């Protein structure tokens, strides 16, 4: 089944006529993803053309969803307008909004998250690489790629990956693929201090997904989301889980690239999170090169076949 | 972005938060002008640097205390002369310390009691939280650890804003008398308005004080802003003090590179924040010490790679470089070409290990191999990290 999206999911792209959104809409089309609509206010009626695809552009998310049946949005809108773009997707009743945009003011996200309370839309991101459910074609083509991840490094399979970082997700996915282990779905939840879907939300989805047999959880310094997820894993998750936390060498009080990657106190250091992981039975990768091997170790101990 | 105390106090006043009267000076000549704006009598002299622990700090010439109480303005002028231009080392500055380029004089307030008050983001609830305590003027982390019952928190619903009952709750918990409570209520509301309207990341008042006449004042103030929100606040952006930042970090930001200087000797150049952090970690794991955090971003151009090499080499502690690129979408050969050109342009003499992975990696590795440069190729992150640690130790 995979989680969040399947190869049949119809997606729309907010900001499809921008450089960034356009480039990645093309890569998603090449991957075989059903990009059925674009949204750019003022350009409704035009088309986004690529490789034989002719994707209609609409003035609003509501129009795009109604006319094409799209249920998921990929948001590439610049930071000052991105909060608004998320809420437009919520108002249109989308199932999922994936916000790729980096640099949205925290205050905007505080308001967006409050406004989303009680709505049926799930938000992934912002400041994230997106979501990939690999397909069965060459280089995992035929899957659903929402966002900016390289599609070809994936392989269809049974391991779920959740991470706050883009390139670290690719690192983990690539290690798995090289070892012949495929992925059910890979979710980048983003590096901002206020985001939509949390580590725990994704872990719960993976736990409920019969297709997913093992999980890699990648976190970093700052906040307590990984700790919350780890405690839930200990209490409820029966599947093997491997984890990695980036930032052991990061100095306190400095933002390490991601807006949310900053040590605020003794609780949100890498060492503290790694200690909780171990306490909760999560197999900790000693280095980022060890992420796939860590999962293989814990799967073997539990008698689970990953591939 | 951080600002100085004197800048924070000016903003607080603008929003109606009472602060002790004060005046800043950047030259000895300005001391007199600044001091004439204050009444005669006890005066505080405060070094302005972006680091805490100033009062307990020591200057590199042995003079003790970056914040001093003076009985008279004449004394204040003399003490200010010892601080200005001097380098202050505190628990938060690191051994190099910070050069004091501004002095802030304030009226020395009479203190009845000290409190703690701060507003920041609570990540767990995604809401602003007001944190208050009757234990002011001390390290709040210590209070939270030893006497958590003395920390009071109020989470603000962003849809409604700070509610009156929440302000009352804080006032009662802090045990103010009626007159103090009235003043504290006004202050808390003003402080929240400032936090919300300026896209502040954190406002910390430590200590907040009451005076014998029941006034409530922000005696010290530490204010920082969400960098992502600065585009909405040109006046606040203008408060940035480049003297407080590492010149290498300033140069990096001009090229849209995310760079943070550290004190090790193995420089790293990486794409992606998470990968950049964990590249530092893996260097440490194999016995080396990282010299920096450097994220060149997803679409690193040749110009950015050249700029990155120049910044790295500007750090004289650097004895070796590790390049770690996972070229997901980008063509690894383009990156490899950029590295080769950059290395030729800067005339690199230090050991260099390059780990390339991803799109068109075979061509990329071939470009590196045929470049004639004395660089070492690493297969995995672990392999590359071990190689550079060994080369630097040799």
Which residue in the set B128, B272, B280 is minimally distant from A167, CB to CB? B272
B389 in A contact zone (CB under 8 Å):
no
Contacts of A127 in chain B (CB under 8 A): none
Q: Smallest Cβ distance to A110: which of B127, B273, B357?
A: B127
B147 and B229 in a common domain: yes
* pLDDT band at residue B138 under the 50/70/90 scheme: confident
For the domain that residue B26 is a member of, what is the CATH number? 3.30.1490.20
pLDDT of residue A264: 80
B195: closest chain A residue by CA: A107
Per-residue pLDDT band for B394 (boundaries 50, 70, 90) equals confident
In the predicted model, what is the mean pLDDT of chain B?
Answer: 94
- Assign B331 a pLDDT band (cuts: 50, 70, 90): confident
Q: How far apart are CA B386 and CA B240, in angstroms?
A: 40
ipTM here: 0.93
Which B-chain residues 24-83 have CB contacts (< 8 A) with chain A?
none
> What residues make up the domain containing B185?
113-237
Shared domain check, B328 and B365: yes
- Provide the shortest C-alpha distance from residue A276 to chain B (in Å): 17
d(CA A101, CA B328): 18
Answer CATH for A10-124 from 3.30.70.1430, 3.40.50.11540, 3.20.20.140, 3.40.50.720: 3.40.50.720
Q: Give yes or no: residues B118 and B103 share one domain.
A: no
Among residues of chain B, what percentage have pLDDT more than 90?
80
As given in the structure block, the two tokens for residue A304 are 């689970």
* Residues of chain A with confidence (pLDDT) below 50: none
Boundaries of every domain in chain A? 10-124, 155-302
pLDDT digits (tens, 9 = 90+) for B57-88: 999 999 999 999 999 999 999 999 999 999 99
B233 shares its domain with B130: yes
Per-residue pLDDT, averaged over B268-273, amounts to 92
Q: Tell me the CATH number for domain A155-302.
A: 3.40.50.261
Contact assignment for B358 to A224 by CB distance below 8 Å: no
From B237, B256, B275, the end of a domain falls on B237
Q: Does the pLDDT value for residue B299 go beyond 70?
A: no
- Among B107, B130, B160, the domain-final residue is B107
Task: Tell me: do B261 and B206 sit in the same domain.
Answer: no
Task: Chain B: give the shortest CA distance to residue A204, in Å.
Answer: 18
Residue B23 CA to residue B2 CA, distance in Å, equals 20
Q: Which of B53, B148, B261, B278 is the best mutation test for A, with the most CBs of A within 10 A?
A: B278
Position B46 scores a pLDDT of 98
At residue B297, the pLDDT reads 81
**Could you tell me if B382 and B285 lie in one domain?**
yes
* Number of domains comprising chain B: 3
The answer to the question of residue B9 being in a domain is no
From start to end of chain A, where are the E strands?
A: 10-14, 34-39, 47-50, 53-58, 72-75, 96-99, 122-124, 130-133, 144-147, 156-163, 183-188, 214-220, 241-246, 283-284
Residues B157-204: tens digit of each pLDDT: 999 999 999 999 999 999 999 999 999 999 999 999 999 999 999 999
Cβ-based neighbours of B218, under 8 Å, separated by 6 or more: B9, B12, B17, B18, B19, B117, B187, B205, B208
Fold equal for A10-124 and A155-302: yes
Each residue's pLDDT tens digit, B203-244: 999 999 999 999 999 999 999 999 999 999 999 999 999 999
Q: In chain B, which residues have their Cβ closer than 8 Å to the Cβ of A108?
A: 229
Supply the angle between the helices B273-285 and B381-393 in degrees, to the nearest 10: 50
Active site residues of B: 116, 204
Which of B58, B88, B107 marks a domain boundary?
Answer: B107
Q: How far is CA B250 from CA A137, B112, B256, B315, in A?
A: 46, 43, 10, 14
| pLDDT attached to residue B136 | 93
Asked whether residue B11 is assigned to any structural domain, the reply reads no
The domain spanning residue B162 has which CATH number?
Answer: 3.30.470.20
- Structural tokens at position A22: 């356009």
- What pLDDT is recorded for position B345? 86
Cα–Cα distance measured from residue A169 to residue A162, given in angstroms and rounded to the nearest whole number: 7
B226 shares its domain with B289: no
Measure in Å the smallest separation between the Cα of B117 and chain A Cα atoms.
17
B315, pLDDT greater than 80: yes
Phi-psi map region of A188: left, alpha, beta (phi>0 left; psi -120 to 50 alpha): beta
Nearest CB to B284: which of A104, A222, A248? Answer: A248
């Amino acid at each position: 089944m995979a989680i969040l999206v399947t190869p049949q999911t119809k997606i729309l792209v907010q900001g499809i006529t921008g450089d960034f959104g356009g480039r990645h809409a093309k890569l998603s089309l090449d991957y075989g993803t059903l990009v059925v609509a674009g949204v750019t206010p003022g350009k409704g009626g035009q088309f986004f053309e690529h490789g034989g695809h002719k994707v209609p552009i609409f003035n609003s998310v509501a129009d795009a969803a109604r006319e094409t049946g799209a249920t998921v949005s990929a948001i590439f809108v610049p930071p000052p307008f991105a909060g608004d773009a998320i809420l437009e997707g919520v108002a249109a009743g989308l199932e999922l909004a994936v916000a790729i945009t980096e640099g949205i003011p925290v205050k905007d996200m505080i308001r967006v998250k409050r406004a989303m309370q009680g709505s049926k839309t799930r938000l992934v991101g912002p400041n994230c690489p997106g979501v990939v459910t690999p397909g069965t074609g060459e280089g995992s083509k035929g899957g659903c790629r929402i966002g900016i991840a390289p599609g070809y490094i994936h392989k269809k399979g049974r391991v779920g990956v959740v991470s706050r970082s883009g390139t670290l997700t690719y690192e983990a996915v690539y290690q798995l693929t090289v070892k012949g282990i495929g992925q059910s779905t890979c979710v980048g939840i983003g590096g901002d201090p206020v985001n939509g879907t949390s580590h725990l939300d994704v872990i719960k989805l993976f736990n409920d997904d019969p297709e997913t047999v093992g999980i890699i959880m990648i976190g970093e310094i700052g906040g307590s989301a990984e700790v919350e997820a780890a405690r839930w894993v200990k209490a409820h998750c029966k599947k093997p889980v491997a984890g990695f936390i980036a930032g052991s060498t990061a100095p306190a009080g400095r933002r390490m690239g991601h807006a949310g990657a900053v040590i605020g106190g003794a609780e949100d250091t890498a060492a503290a999170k790694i200690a909780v992981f171990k306490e909760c039975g999560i197999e900790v990768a000693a280095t980022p090169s060890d992420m796939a091997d860590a999962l293989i170790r814990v799967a073997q101990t539990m008698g689970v076949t990953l591939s | 972005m951080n600002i100085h105390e004197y800048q924070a106090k000016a903003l607080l006043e603008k929003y109606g938060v009472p602060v002790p009267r004060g005046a800043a000076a950047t030259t000895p000549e300005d001391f007199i002008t600044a001091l004439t704006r204050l009444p005669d009598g006890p005066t505080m002299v405060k070094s302005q640097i972006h680091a805490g622990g100033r009062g307990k700090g020591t200057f590199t010439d042995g003079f003790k205390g970056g914040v001093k109480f003076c009985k008279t303005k004449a004394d204040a002028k003399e003490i200010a002369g010892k601080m200005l231009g001097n380098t202050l080392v505190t628990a938060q500055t690191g051994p190099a310390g910070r050069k004091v380029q501004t002095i802030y004089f304030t009226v020395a307030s009479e203190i009845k009691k000290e409190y703690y008050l701060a507003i920041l983001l609570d990540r767990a609830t995604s809401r602003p939280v007001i944190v208050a305590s009757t234990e002011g003027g001390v390290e709040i982390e210590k209070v939270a650890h030893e006497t958590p019952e003395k920390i009071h928190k109020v989470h603000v619903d962003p849809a409604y804003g700070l509610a009156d009952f929440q302000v009352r709750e804080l006032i009662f918990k802090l045990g103010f008398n009626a007159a103090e409570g009235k003043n504290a209520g006004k202050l808390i509301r003003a402080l929240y308005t400032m936090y919300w309207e300026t896209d502040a990341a954190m406002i910390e008042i430590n200590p907040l004080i009451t005076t014998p006449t029941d006034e409530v004042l922000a005696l010290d103030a530490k204010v920082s802003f969400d960098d992502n929100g600065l585009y909405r606040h040109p006046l606040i952006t203008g408060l940035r003090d480049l003297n407080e930042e590492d010149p290498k970090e300033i140069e990096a930001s001009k090229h849209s590179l995310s760079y943070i200087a550290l004190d090790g000797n193995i420089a790293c150049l990486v794409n992606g924040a998470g990968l950049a952090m964990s590249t530092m970690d893996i260097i440490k794991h194999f016995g080396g010490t990282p010299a920096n955090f450097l994220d060149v971003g997803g679409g690193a151009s040749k110009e950015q790679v050249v700029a990155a090499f120049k910044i790295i080499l500007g750090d004289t502690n650097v004895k070796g470089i590790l390049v770690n690129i996972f070229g997901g979408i980008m063509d690894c050969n383009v990156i490899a070409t950029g590295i080769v050109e950059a290395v030729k342009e800067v005339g690199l003499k230090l050991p260099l290990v390059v780990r390339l992975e991803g799109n068109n990696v075979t061509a990329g590795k071939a470009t590196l191999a045929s470049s004639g440069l004395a660089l070492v190729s690493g297969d995995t992150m672990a392999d590359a990290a071990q190689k550079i640690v060994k080369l630097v130790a040799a």
